[in-house]
Amino acid sequence: MDENSKTIRILCPKLVFSKTGIQWLIGSPFFTPLTVVSTLRCIHSDSSSPDYDTESGDLRALLPKGFNVIGALIIKNSDLEKKNAGEAIDAARRLTKLLSGEAELRNSVTIGAVADSVTGDVQFFVSRSEKPTDIETVDFVLYDDNPEKYVWERGCMIRCELPITLPLYYPLNNTSEAEKMYLHATEAVIAKFKDPQVVYMVETLSQASTESPQPVILRGKDLDFDMNLSDIKLVCEAAQDSDTTALSCAHFCSKSKSAAAILSAENADTIQVSVLLNRSEKSPKSTAPIAKYCPASQDARLLIVDFKLQVLCYATKNLPLMHAISKLVFPGLVDQLNSMKKAIMPNLFTQHPQLYPYHFNPPGVLHPITVIYELSYGETELKQVDVRKSLHLRMGLPFDRPLLRIANALDLSTTKDGSRNNSSRKGSLLLKDVHFGIPSSGVSGGIVSLVQGSYEYYHYLQDGFDDSVVKFFLFQVGWGCAYRSLQTIVSWFKLQHYTSIGVPSHREIQQSLVEIGDKDPSFIGSREWIGAIELSFVLDKLLGVSCKVLNVRSGAELPEKCRELALHFDSQGTPIMIGGGVLAYTLLGIDYNEASGDCAFLILDPHYTGNDEHKKIVNGGWCGWKKAVDSKGRNFFLHDKFYNLLLPQRPDMV
């Protein structure tokens, strides 16, 4: 390939997710030029152009340092002309100038892309200057097959947490003076970040204590806060020595990782930076302590403002630590402090907002994003919902997934052995996602549609509760299979953070049905069966979840529902309960060949009574594919049974 050719590399799984407007193209100075890692929709605009000030404020808080705007994509109706690319390039350069300044923009190449709103076709252009005529067509566009590897093999995360308390005395009869003092105090804090006496302590969060390198101390006087990021020379790891100013981020990153390691933000090497103010250095002059008394000239009041900063940055592993602090951590702290300062200002003399930053890595977005939430009114209230809706809109996320709720925030804390502390996500000790690693279905040329997200496997005899046997005329059969299927479904909603309630017991399920009037009080404590309709009532009462019920006259007719079931798994992704007679199963997926009609059902069987051993469950066929009709003409579902299928729907919530 010619060295002068212009090649765009696309890492993001979905480039165009809007039908109109502008999307900002996000890249990184640590990637090869013209590499698009993600796109963010412009959500603040008037009839003619984006609101650049508001957009820059949002993106400054949202994007981790180490990522920046490298272009824009404008969506037009069948009009992929160069003039529209010029409009996109101009918009991107104006936004970049607000975010990074004129110096960083001077030598950069800007991407202008135009997408057809009907076909989704995209045409790319680039510009190396602000001249509207200096626009060149791109020669090649490469779509990376393994974008996670591209991002996280070469990069790491840097985390800095810093609580700040500002005590202010202000005159009671002059609130405007208090506002000036507040602004002056925050500016003084920002200046302190550059103080020669400030100490930045750098250590790892990613390795066990016995293997971790010792913390490194970098002082404010050793840092260059004025150098442009594009002018920094990366460090070869082999060339590093004991001089702390020559160390790179790789010094605190894992030297080797297993081939099975999951490449993602949550599993990335993470470096911890702590900010300390060193007051213990020897002074060149010998001085005695001084106490200065400054009496107030009028009645005053003490005002205390608390900030809880937590900044997350992305850096290539070859970036010198000193520049990682000066060009990533420092501006990240400044931007976050300014965002919080602005949010607190209108409520300076009343109850201050409880602001706290959270980091998320939603599916389809390769890098983490940072969101500052107001915690005083709770995340379910309307104002918080509106904040999340705007974020979903900006990132092209579905509105029926609670992806940016606090429960889904990245957990970057570590235990004493260096492992990530995910105890808040573990829940119970039951087996999760039992279908992973099972043999294939045997359907030739089929398309597999599966449950989306995690669930727990509930089955007979768990929790010391015997729901496996009840006398039915002359037979003894189980009675709790539908209860167990319901528990698995509820666990799915809990693990996807749609609810915080616990998985209900058999008695709590029965109590719910009595409370809504579906059953008599004598039903509580009984061993009566329940079916799809009762399950829908319980899901509606406990979770506010609506359900769709499909009816089939016999197991032989189930294949006729394959297309509808596949659509459910692709769009909703929730587990399904199949109930027929006194039997109930949990359906986790469909493998369906529409041309031949051959299909298989991924069944999670609640009738299992053994220990929670994955190998035993899979080998015993308690979780696996069941052909609608096998090679001997046998159907897993009895031909003479009437079946109800309960399809829980995702609630419309963010």
SS (H, E, C) 436-485: CCCCCCCCCCCEEEECCCCCECCCCCHHHCCCCCEEECCEEECCCHHHHH
Would you state the pLDDT for residue 241? 55
Beta strands at 140-143 and 7-10: parallel, antiparallel or unpaired: parallel
Q: Are the CB atoms for 445 and 595 separated by under 8 Å? A: yes
Sorted by sequence, the CB contacts under 8 Å of residue 48 that are 6+ apart come out as none
For residues 289-299, average pLDDT: 79
376 half-sphere exposure, CB direction, 13 A CA radius: 7
Residue 647: φ, ψ to 5°: -110, 95
Neighbours of 487 (CB within 10 A): 26
Share of the chain above pLDDT 70, in %: 88
**Residue from 200, 251, 234, 232 nearest 327 by CA:** 232
**Alpha carbon distance 445, 598 (integer Å):** 9
Q: Which amino acid is at 109?
A: V
pLDDT single digits (tens) 59-112: 999 999 999 999 999 998 766 677 788 999 999 999 999 998 776 666 689 999
Q: What is the pTM of this model?
A: 0.83
- Helices and strands (H, E) in the chain, number of each type: 14, 25
Q: Mean pLDDT throughout 244-270?
A: 78
**At residue 3, does pLDDT exceed 50?**
no
- The reported pLDDT for the residue numbered 211 is 65
| Whole-number pLDDT of residue 172 | 83
Positive or negative, the CA dihedral 622, 628, 633, 637 is positive
- In the predicted model, what is the mean pLDDT of residues 174-180? 85
CA distance 338 to 205: 27
What order do you get walking across the sheet with 68-76 strand by strand?
A: 38-41, 21-27, 68-76, 110-116, 122-127, 136-137
Top-confidence residue, 476 or 263: 263
What is the C-alpha separation between 615 and 355, in angstroms, rounded? 46
Helix (H) or strand (E) holding 199: strand 198-204
* Alpha helices (H) in 101-174, listed in sequence order: 102-106, 147-152
Taking the C-alpha atoms of residue 59 and residue 395, their distance in angstroms, rounded to an integer, is 11
pLDDT score recorded for residue 486? 97
- When pLDDT is averaged across residues 316-339 and rounded to a whole number, the result is 95
**pLDDT single digits (tens) 156-167:** 999 999 999 999
The pLDDT tens digits of the residues spanning 207-225 come to: 554 567 889 999 999 898 8
Determine the Cα–Cα distance for residues 510 and 482; give it in Å rounded to an integer: 12
pLDDT at residue 628 tops 70:
yes
In 3D, which of 206, 313, 315 has the Cα closest to residue 261? 206
Q: How far apart are CA 128 and CA 47, in angstroms?
A: 28
What is the per-residue pLDDT for 78?
62
Average pLDDT of span 361-384? 88
State mean pLDDT over 532-548: 95
Question: Given the DSSP bridges, would you call strands 576-580 and 300-316 parallel, antiparallel or unpaired?
Answer: unpaired
Q: Please count the CA atoms within 13 angstroms of the CA of 2 that sit on its side-chain side.
A: 6
- Bridge-based pairing state of the strands 198-204 and 583-592: unpaired
Name the percent of the chain lying above pLDDT 90: 58
CA angle 430, 365, 361 (to 5 degrees): 45
Provide the token pair at 296: 């107030």
Look at residue 316 in the predicted model and tell me its pLDDT.
Answer: 95
* Inter-residue contact 182 to 168 (CB < 8 Å): yes
- At residue 425 the predicted structure's pLDDT band, cuts being 50, 70 and 90, is very low
Please give the pLDDT value at position 562: 94
Q: Are strands 68-76 and 300-316 parallel, antiparallel or unpaired?
A: unpaired
Chain length of the chain: 654
Q: What's the token pair of residue 174?
A: 């002059």
How far is Cα 648 from Cα 540, in angstroms, rounded to an integer?
10
Residues annotated catalytic, as ranges: 481, 605, 607
Cα gap 574→493, rounded to integer Å: 8
Q: Tokens representing 171?
A: 């005159």
Through-space distance between the first and last CA atoms of the chain, rounded to whole angstroms: 45
Q: In this structure, are residues 338 and 183 in contact, taking their beta carbons and an 8 Å threshold?
A: no
What is the pLDDT, as a whole number, of residue 424?
A: 41
Residue 428 pLDDT: 60
Does the pLDDT value for residue 412 go beyond 90? no
Question: Is the pLDDT confidence value at 227 over 60?
Answer: yes
Q: Can you read off the two tokens belonging to residue 158?
A: 């840097």
Q: What number is the average pLDDT over the span 405-430?
A: 63
**To which residue do tokens 């990153």 refer?**
253
Q: What are the helix (H) ranges across 116-238? A: 147-152, 175-193
Rounded (10°) CA dihedral 95, 311, 365, 420:
170
| pLDDT in the model for residue 103 | 67
Q: How many CA atoms lie within 13 A of 245 on its CB side?
A: 6
Residues 67 and 91: beta-carbon distance below 8 Å: no
Give the H/E segment covering residue 316. strand 300-316
Mean pLDDT of the chain: 87
Residue 466 corresponds to which amino acid? D
What is the per-residue pLDDT for 473? 44
Confidence of residue 472 (pLDDT cuts 50, 70, 90): very low
Confidence label for 415 from pLDDT (cuts 50, 70 and 90): very low
Residue pair 272/202 in contact by the 8 Å Cβ criterion: yes
User: How many Å apart are CA 645 and CA 533, to the nearest integer?
Assistant: 10
Lowest mean pLDDT among 114-128, 464-478, 630-644: 464-478
Sheet strands (E) in 77-154: 110-116, 122-127, 136-137, 140-143
pLDDT reported for residue 212: 73
Give which of 308, 300, 354, 341 is closest to 165, Cα–Cα: 308
